[in-house]
Each structure stands twice: as structure tokens, then as C-alpha cells.
Chains A and B, each alone.
Chain A
């Protein structure tokens, strides 16, 4: 019999509804009498708004109302949240420049797709038709889209108030020590690289259904989110200027988020404002073109770095200079991503005595940039793992030996990497050895020689990634025993976006209380149910939610013991809970006197304040965890055409204890493919002249499809984390952190055979062909 316990590849409880067309995604909600909202967006990347004429639109069939930024300002609506800006202190001690983003633009648009007006009509088609009748006079302004050019003081400032396009100049680490390390080094490896911009493209577009209850003076928002509480607070506090309890946010099934669905976008307060004004529900659903122009995008860094080595190849120090493109406005966490999110992950898994990370963040006429799966960690990992490879070749040690020489050894764990990376556990050599064995590394040169005969360049690339998962928040949970239905209701403040939380929380409670899966019902996504919730993001849900559920289940058992003691006529101290081997009972220690959990709940109705046996839990004790592992990628490149194929991909990960290996494998596969997507084709292009997003559809923006990929060989070495009770490390983002450098290092390993030494993401057959062709011409 397969038990529904921790450590098993239990099949998912959420699958039944999702494979039978029964999912409940945001656009699936309909409210009686709802009107449809369509957003009028800027056709220009940078322009003054001279006038907006809504008269024709208002007169169009079916139109209920047309909203503009001016009306919203007069109604007292606040700005769209950019909460993270306040966390940034510049190198000179002054605060960062803070952009002002209205729900609808008032007198200036700063990116193509910037929201200007909202048309609300009886049907979506009527709203779309009328949106084309909103007449706007623009005066076009010069455009800046490129990351490096934006940092050039001679480029026009898109926010005149800032004086330049610099939002902040930030640094962390010991600058003097890092500079001294470079000055005194035996060898310095220098690298400039681009971490290309990504369009997140969750398959489910964003949507919002706003409702307002006049009698209760209360709003309700149905929205696909990564956590209802955070979203509620930002919309209520920053934009609607109401008490958070006046807003209820509801999220059911979410069709992928990857960071992007965390944030309080302009459309959300917009449907709420409209619902109140019009006295009826208002619904908005993005189409894909709108998603490309209004969902936050990811990455977009240009980095120059220096790695200082001694004569034996030991790292002496690292100096990093990054320009990060934040887009036209600072999104909710935008300022946080290139700075505080990665913290000191730039040191990777190596002993680095001195490090300095200098970040200049720029504003451009592009869609705002914010968290995308990994959020700062993939950028950090890509840099250090490219540097290590390059240093390996330059010193002659090779990519494997230079890593081994600098690994923090397992014997030295826990290890406090200065300034602030307290690794709790990890055995980097072991994972690397296992990955090399699985990749049949010893036979690589033979494979390479065989491929060379076919005119193919074979390359093998390695990445040893580490990721720091989120900590420092509170997570909430609640358990309620329903004696009537014989089930336990589980409420968590996290929010699945498809990761399988329902299954994992069910496994956890099943193991804690000794219940079958069908006796456990998991709920989330209603801001009215729990006092708070940390949502999903930063690969933290598994330890934060099980932490909160652990506290709640302990409390539940303690409460139950009181009642059981009464019923069994024993002292509370003599009551134990038996939640294993098919039992879910309170019993008198050493006897067969027992009472079933659900029977206790029935008795509870008369004895406790609440209607049933229930308990709440809050958890905030967890520290950071450090998932890490070795990724090895083998790539075959056709010398004549530049066409390429990934022929081998191995990941050996340490996620601490794994609760559901099947679900974790799914996370790793998906994470790797998002990382590979960035490295092997996802290219976001804004026109330098007009600022238009040229890759604004699935036709123009490549994403990995089924026939672009190999099977991945994934496995785990479970080295328990010491930072949480379960010893888990969080697996949601790891694949995305490791994949880009494993792939690019493999490509460069192949290209070196043809004399090519550098290439940037995304690699395409065309960019490979150009690189190979260019090298041939140079040699000729």
C-alpha cells in the first residue's frame, strides 16, 4: 500500500479537476450583471498627452463609462505600488529616485502599452470597438530603451526630475578590499556579459473581476495572484487608500505566475474603482498582446566583472559592475531584484575573501522589470559560473578543477561567507562527482571526437549553482476539524501557482494527524480567512507553510487533548495523540482507552468557544535555505548552419529532505526549461528609435516547445537544511538558476574548438552561425 506520507511520490490531489476541464482560473469567474473593461494603451513609448477626447467612445453602442487618469486623480486614487524603492539606500547615503506611476497616465506615457484610459461596456466586443474611438493627442518625445545607453549621461532623461536615467547607484561589500585583491592578483579574469530581458508569459493571462458591496462599503477582487494578502495590502494602502479589511482578494487556480503575478498592477484598482462607481461588477481580461505590454518582465542586466586569483587558482576577490534596467517605472519589487534579492549570491559556492557588488539601476521607455523565477539569483549565478569557467580556461586548471579548488568544503559547514551568507549545509563535491559520473564525463572526449567527424562541435558545460530561498516573513495556517463531514479543513497563506501545494500540504497533515488524503481539504486564496499570508515566491512555501501547519497541528492536538481528557476521564498529561498506522485518535497512555479525532471535534462544540475543533498557526522562525547542485549540459553545434541540439542534461540537486520527489522533479524540469529558454532563444527586442516592443507575440518571441528539448536526468542528494524543522531547502527556482550558465558554458566549450571565445544569451542558430563565420573570417 502506498501511504500518503512525506517522502512519497504521491499523485496530485488537484489533478482531477485540472485534467477534466474543471479548473477555476481568474477569467472563469462571472458575476451577474458584470460589465467588461478594455484598457486603452499608449501606442507611443514616450510622449506627452496633450488631450484625451472620450466623447465618441461614450456615445458608442453598449458603452457604460470611460475612465481617464484625471478622473482617478480627482477621485483621490493613489499611485501604483513601488514599495521596494524605500529599501534602497544609495552609495552616498541618499534615497533612491522614486518614480510616480498613476493607475492611468495623466500627462505623460513612458512605455508602449502604458495604460491611458479604460472603456467599460456591456460586452467585451463593444468595449473593444469603443476603445478605438478614444481620441488622444500626443507629442512624441525621444526614446531610451537600451540598458547601457540609458546609463550614458548624454542620453535624454525620461524622468526629468531625476536629472538622468539613473534611479539609484547602489553598492554592497568591501570595495577597497575587492579592489586591492584585483590589484595584487596573480591573474585577473575579466568578463562582460548580458543577462537578457525575458517576457514572463505565464500561459494564463492576467484578469480581474472587481465588485463592490455598497451596504458593507467593501470591495472584492477576483484575480490570479501569488498571494492574496500582499496584494490586498498594496492595493488598499497604496492606491485605493482604504483600510485593508475593506478589500477582499480571492484567487483560485492560477495558470502560472513565476513572480510576475505577485504585483499590484494598475488594472486591479481600476476594476474596483469602476465597480464602486457604476454599482456593478467590472471584469477585465488581458489578451496576449496586452500581456506582452503590461506584465512585468524579467532580468535585463549588463555586467562587467573581475575575478582575482592567486597563483594556485584560489579566488582572492570579485568586483562587479552591473547596470540593471528597471523599465519605465519602478514596479513593486523592481528596485529590490538586482540589489537585495541576490544579496551576496555572486560568490556562489566558493570561498571569496573580498567581494563588491556595484549596481546602477536605469529607467527606460520599456515595460517595468520585476521578479522573474529566481529574481536576482539566476543573474548572480550566471555571472559567477561564467567567470569560473573562463578562469578555468585562462589558468589552465579547467572548469572542474578551479571549482573544486574554491568550493567551500562540506567539512567546514556551517560556513559563514562574509559579509552575509551563512550556509547551513551542503556537499558540493559530492553533487559534482555524481553529476560527472551521470554525464559519463570520462568518455566525453571520445564523444567529441566522433562528432567532429560529422562536422559537429560538441561542448560540455558545467554550472554549480546555489540559491538562497526567502526568509524573514510570517506564514499563517489554520486547521478546522469538521465532525459532520469527517474532514479536516486546511487553510494556508501560501498560494499555489501550479506547484502542487494542495498535495504537499495534504501529505504533511496526513503524516501529522494520521488521516487519509480524502479526509483533508486544502484551501487558500481568500484574504478574509487568515490574518495574513506570505504567498508563493522565493521558493519558501514548503518550509514556511509546513512550519505554520506544524504549529497549527500541534495546537490542535493540545486542544484535543483537553477534550479527550474530559471524555476519557483522565488527566490531560496522560493523553497522547496517535496519528499513525491508520489511527487518528486521542488515547490514554498505556491503555486501549481512546477517542477518535472527529468524535473529539463533536464534543468540542459544547466545550470550546468556537463551533468546532480548530487551531491557528503562525511561523516565522525559518532562516534562509540554500538549495544547490551541479548541472551538466552537452550541446552539439552544426558547424555549417549554426543549428544546435542539447544532447545531454544532468542535474544533481540538494534540496534537503524531499517531501514529494515527483513534484520536485516537475519543478526542476520546468525550472531548467525556463533557464534554457532565456539562454537558447528568448529575446526581448525594443526598437531603438520608436521604443516599440518588436517581439510582442508568440510569433516573434520564441519560447521552448516540446521538440526543442531533451529528457533531463534529475536526481537528489538529500542533505538536510538546518534552518527549518523539516530539513527542506525549496526547489521552485533552482532549475532556472542553474540552467543558463550550464548551457552557455557548453556552447562556449564547443565554440572554443573554432576559436570563438565569447557569446551572449540568447544563443540562436543565427548567432552561432555569425560567431563561427566571424571567427573563420578573422582566421583567414
Chain B
């Protein structure tokens, strides 16, 4: 009875084939079918951004896309941002240095949203960063250290921002 579709995704560099129901969301396919646990589910309605991944380089809330629609796409999650030898991406490193995460649940999505921003606007100011991240809810940090981290990764963390005291020089 069930109609199922065969799809192929390249997730963080690895080719993956799986079968999905037509109604299955991309986030469900990633988590349930492929065991990719980095992107999280926070609202299933495109409002919190915890499931944000990069689809062919663009930030997409993966609860707003059917898995079947992503057939053939290149998906990058937080796990795929680091170099192959494990060296953190400068943005990940900045999140660490600036204490841009607490519980970490929104973090994989935040990273992907910020990656998208830095691709289109490599030298954002504070307002640019805040605007770019408004689709991603964080209940822990008050966003301050996240904004610091993104500005720092872009090299635009100026004196007006609130660099963490005692930050590594």
C-alpha cells in the first residue's frame, strides 16, 4: 500500500541512498533514516531554525522541505563544517571562543544560518548578523555571544561589541 521513493543525498560529503514516504520531511529523513543527529527538531513549522542545514550551500529549515524534494542535493550539517582532520571551521572555533552556545540545541542550526550569511555578506555589521539570525530561536544565550562569535569569524568584531573578557588574544 505504502508508496515509497528512493532518494540520494550527499550528507557532509558522504553519498547516502534511502527510501522515504512521500510525506517524510528532510529533517526526518536525516535523523530517522540516516542517523544524522546534528540538526534538531524544535517546532516542525519553520519558526525556530533548530533544523537548519545547508542544501547546496544555502540555509534551509529542513522541516520545511520534503525529503523527496532534496533528492540529489548536497546537504551540509554542523558535523560537515569541520575539516576532514577534525580542525574546526573558523565559525565553529569562534562559537567556542565566544561562548556562543549553552545547551547547544539550537547551535547546529545557528551555525548553518551564520554560514549562509557569511557567504552572501562576508563583512556583516551587528545589525546584519542580528537580522540574519532572527529565524533561529535560542532560549539560553540572549544572542549576545552568538552575535559576537559571528562578527569575530567575519573579522568585524569591533570595539563596540562585547568581546568576552579574558578572551584568548
User: CB within 8 Å of B: which residues of A?
Assistant: 2, 8-9, 11-12, 14-16, 18-25, 27-28, 61, 125, 201-205, 253-256, 258, 285, 287-288, 497-500, 661-663, 665-666, 669-674, 697-699, 703-707, 709, 711-713, 735
Contact of B47 among A12, A500, A698 (CB under 8 A): A698
**Does the CB pair B131–A707 fall under 8 Å?**
yes
Q: Which residue from A253, A258, A672 sits with its C-beta under 8 Å from B142?
A: A672
Contacts of B168 in A (CB 8 A): 2, 11
If A706-B146, A711-B144, A712-B144 touch, whether A19 touches B92 (CB-CB below 8 Å) is: yes
A313 to chain B, nearest CB (A): 35
Asked if B105 and A706 make an inter-chain contact with CB atoms under 8 angstroms apart, the answer reads: no
Asked if A21 contacts B36 (CB within 8 A), the reply is yes
Chain B positions 77 through 92: 1 when the CB is less than 8 Å from some CB of chain A, otherwise 0: 1110110000010001
A661 cross-chain contacts in B, Cβ below 8 A: 165-166
Would B82 and A20 count as touching, CB distance under 8 A?
yes
Taking a contact as CB atoms under 8 Å apart, the answer to whether A706 and B139 are in contact is no
Are B165's CB and A665's CB within 8 A? yes
Is there an interface contact between A666 and B134, defined as CB atoms closer than 8 Å?
no
Of residues 121 to 150 in B, which have CB atoms within 8 Å of A's CB atoms?
126-127, 129-131, 133-134, 136-147
Give the nearest-CB partner of A710 in chain B. Answer: B144
8 A-B pairs besides A204-B40, A205-B42, A706-B147 with CB distance below 8 A are A19-B95, A203-B139, A665-B164, A666-B99, A673-B141, A706-B133, A706-B146, A711-B144
B161 at the interface (CB under 8 A from A): yes
Which one of B106, B133, B165 has the highest number of Cβ atoms from chain A below 10 Å of its Cβ? B165
Q: Please tell me if the beta carbons of A15 and B47 are within 8 angstroms of each other in the complex.
A: no
Q: Say how far A438's CB is from chain B's closest CB, in angstroms.
A: 13
By a CB distance below 8 angstroms, the chain A residues around B167 are 9, 662
Are B138 and A203 in contact (CB-based, < 8 A)?
yes
Which partner residue on chain B sits nearest A711 by CB separation?
B162
A670: min CB distance to chain B, Å: 5
Q: Which of A255, A669, A698, A699 contacts B103 (CB 8 A)?
A: A255
B107: which A residues are within 8 A, CB to CB?
Answer: 18-19, 23
What are 8 pairs between A and B in contact, CB < 8 Å? A15-B101, A16-B96, A18-B107, A21-B36, A61-B1, A498-B140, A665-B99, A706-B133
Q: Check B38 against A22 for contact (C-beta < 8 Å).
A: yes
Known: A2-B168, A500-B102, A665-B165. Contact between A712 and B142, CB under 8 A? yes
Cβ of A499 and Cβ of B102 under 8 Å apart?
Answer: yes
CB closest chain-A residue, reference B81: A20
Q: How far is the CB of A259 from chain B (nearest CB, A)?
A: 12
| Interface: B7 (CB within 8 A) | no
- Contact: B48 with A670, CB < 8 Å? no
Instruction: Tell me the number of A-to-B contacts counted with CB atoms below 8 Å.
Output: 197
Q: Does the CB pair A713–B102 fall under 8 Å?
A: no
Q: Cβ of B153 < 8 Å from any Cβ of A?
A: no
**Which residues in B have their C-beta under 8 angstroms from that of A670?**
102, 139-142
Residue B29, interface by CB 8 Å: no
Residues of A within 8 A of B138 (CB): 203, 706
Q: Digit string of B21-57 for contact with A (CB within 8 Å is 1, else 0)? A: 1010000000100001111111111011010000000
Residues of chain B with a CB closer than 8 A to A287's CB: 41, 44
Contact of B104 among A498, A662, A665, A707 (CB under 8 A): A498
Known: A15-B95, A288-B45, A698-B43. A705 touches B137 (CB 8 A): yes
| Chain B residues close to A by CB (< 8 Å) | 1, 21, 23, 31, 36-45, 47-48, 50, 77-79, 81-82, 88, 92, 95-97, 99, 101-108, 111, 126-127, 129-131, 133-134, 136-147, 160-162, 164-168
Docked complex Cα distance between A666 and B98 (Å): 10
Q: Are B144 and A256 in contact (CB under 8 A)?
A: no
Per CB-CB distance, the 3 closest pairs between chain A and chain B, nearest first, are A21-B38, A498-B103, A255-B105
Report whether B38 and A666 are in contact in the complex, using a CB–CB cutoff of 8 Å: no
- B165 with A707: CB separation less than 8 A: no
B129, A203: Cβ atoms under 8 Å?
Answer: no
Q: Within 8 Å CB of B133, what residues of A?
A: 705-707
CA distance A712 to B142 in the complex (A): 9
Instruction: Contact check, A203 vs B141: say whether CB atoms are below 8 A apart.
Output: no
Q: Is the CB of A18 within 8 A of B142?
A: no
Pair B144/A11 contact, Cβ less than 8 Å: no
Query: Which of A19, A672, A673 is packed against the most chain B CB atoms within 10 Å?
Result: A19
Residues of B within 8 A of A15 (CB): 95-96, 101, 104
Q: How far is the CA of A698 from the CA of B43 in the complex (A)?
A: 8
- The verdict on A18 contacting B104 (CB below 8 Å), with A9-B166, A11-B99, A665-B99 known, is yes
Instruction: Tell me, rounded to whole Å, the shortest Cβ–Cβ distance linking A132 to chain B.
Output: 14
Contact of A674 among B37, B104, B130, B139 (CB under 8 A): B139
Q: Across the interface, do B104 and A19 meet the contact criterion of CB distance under 8 Å?
A: yes
Please indicate the chain B residues that have their CB under 8 angstroms from the CB of A2 in the complex. Answer: 168
Closest chain B CB from A626 CB (angstroms): 23
Structural contact, B38 and A706, CB atoms closer than 8 A? no
Say which residue of A253, A254, A258, A662 sits within 8 Å of B166 (CB atoms). Answer: A662
Beta-carbon contact of A707 and B164 below 8 Å: no
Point out the residue from A16, A288, A673 that lies within 8 Å of B42, measured CB to CB. A288
Q: Are B50 and A203 in contact (CB under 8 A)?
A: yes
A256-B105, A703-B139, A712-B144 given; A11·B96 CB < 8 A: yes
Q: Tell whether, in the assembled complex, residue A19 and residue B164 are in contact, meaning their CB atoms are under 8 Å apart.
A: no
Q: Which residue of B lies closest to A17 (CB)?
A: B104
A256's contact among B126, B136, B140, B147, by CB below 8 Å, is which?
B140
> Beyond A20-B38, A662-B166, is A203–B131 a contact (Cβ under 8 Å)?
no
CB distance from A712 to the nearest CB of B (A): 6
- Identify the closest chain A residue to B86 (Cβ): A20
Give A472 to B139 CA distance when docked, in angstroms: 29
Known contacts being A498-B103, A665-B165, A707-B131, is A255 close to B40, with CB within 8 Å?
Answer: yes
Tell me how far the C-beta of B139 lies from the nearest C-beta in chain A, rounded to whole angstroms: 5
Chain B nearest CB, measured from A613 CB (Å): 32
Which of A498, A671, A707, A711 has a CB less than 8 Å from the CB of B161? Answer: A711
Docked pose: A656 CA to B106 CA in angstroms: 31
Asked, given contacts A203-B105, A204-B103, A499-B102, whether A707 binds B127 with beta carbons under 8 Å apart, the answer is yes
Q: Quick check: A12 and B99 within 8 Å, CB to CB?
A: yes
Bound CA–CA A193/B45 (angstroms): 34
A9 and B165 within 8 A (CB): yes
Q: In the docked arrangement, what's the CA distance between A9 and B103, Å? A: 18
Closest approach, in angstroms, between the C-beta of B19 and any C-beta of chain A? 13
Contact B38 A253 (CB under 8 A): no
**Contact between A19 and B130 (Cβ–Cβ < 8 Å)?**
no
Bound complex: CA of A15 vs CA of B48, how far in Å? 21
Q: Is the CB of B101 within 8 A of A25?
A: no
**A219 vs B88: C-alpha distance in the bound complex, in angstroms?**
39
Q: How far is the CA of A357 from the CA of B82 in the complex (A)?
A: 56
Interface centre among B96, B101, B161 (most CB of A within 10 A): B101
- Chain A neighbourhood of B99, CB < 8 A: 11-12, 662-663, 665-666
What is the CB-to-nearest-CB distance from B68 to chain A, in angstroms, rounded to a whole number?
Answer: 15
Q: Given A666-B99, A673-B142, A674-B139, are A203 and B162 also a contact pair (CB < 8 Å)?
A: no
Among B41, B142, B147, B168, which residue has the most Cβ atoms of chain A within 10 A? Answer: B142
